[in-house]
Amino acid sequence: MTDTSRRVLSRRVSETRAEDTSRLIPEEVPVALVYDGTTHAVMMATPADLEDFGVGFSITEGIVSARDEIRELEIVEHEKGLEARMWLVPEAGRKQVERRRRITGPTSCGLCGVDSLEAAVAEPRRVGRTATTSPAEIQRALGAMSPAQTLNVATRAVHGAAFWDATAGTFAAVREDVGRHNALDKLVGAVATAGLDPTKGFVVLTSRVSVEMVQKTAMMGAEIIVAVSAPTALALRVAEEAGITLVAIARSDAFEIFTHPERITLAAQTGDGDRQEVLPHVLAR
């Protein structure tokens, strides 16, 4: 399998000196998503966890609704890239053929196979209302995120997406990629393949939160997103509609809640015992 990074030579230059050095940089290769022998899309991606990528992409794009609708999956390496070859169960295969007939031309990351403006911002899948978490748990997850990103520690050049397991108090899965959408797709695939309940924790993202990231999380079924960067206005509107709690601009000392804050429970003030305060619901502007 293709390496995920390689060491290259460079020259470090300051105001007064120059010196030869080297560093690790991530690989980026074309990965074709192939269903029943027909290519659906080609994405530029980090060549790691590609089985998870294939499963996650299939779920977030609505090609399948569950992992078991993919009968077989294999990664095939070519000289100039890789293929994630998937064979679907008959019903999913028929739906995919019909979908291909409607496609006028695939577009870029997050909108593969979209053929109209209405489809680009379609009504999102609504998530459930069972997940809760606390500021302390969010802070623990944020503190654990950087060291868990092994490829980013080495290269400082990839995005991360992780699922914090609230029951275990640790990450159940961490996935990385040069593309933020790819990293999230890989995470969705890892969670689905492991049979994890996406409502028993939350998604952590190291990237900005665009509308596609919210749409993919909704397709995953997770109810809470925690991101280190800011969201777009459209991402907020879609998160509100999907019922997702969107926490962003998350730092070691504080974070901001933009939608559905009722899932975040605050510790009671001194003297209140073990009582928890649930933040009231407010609409995103």
CA atoms within 13 A on the CB side of 83: 15
Active site annotation includes 109: yes
* Active-site residue identified among 24, 44, 75, 109: 109
Distance CA 262, CA 248 (A): 15
**DSSP labels, 84-127:** EEEEE-HHHHHHHHHHHHH-S---STT-TT--SHHHHTPPPPPP
Determine phi and psi for 50, rounding to 5 degrees. -75, -25
Distance CA 185, CA 191 (A): 10
Distance CA 129, CA 125 (A): 13
Smallest CA-to-CA distance from 178 within 159, 161, 162 is with: 159
The tokens of 166 are what? 């609230």
**DSSP labels, 208-267:** -B-HHHHHHHHHHT--EEEESSPBPHHHHHHHHHHT-EEEES--SS--EEEE-GGGBEEE
Neighbours of 89 (CB within 10 A): 13
Question: What length is written for the chain?
Answer: 285
Catalytic residues: 109
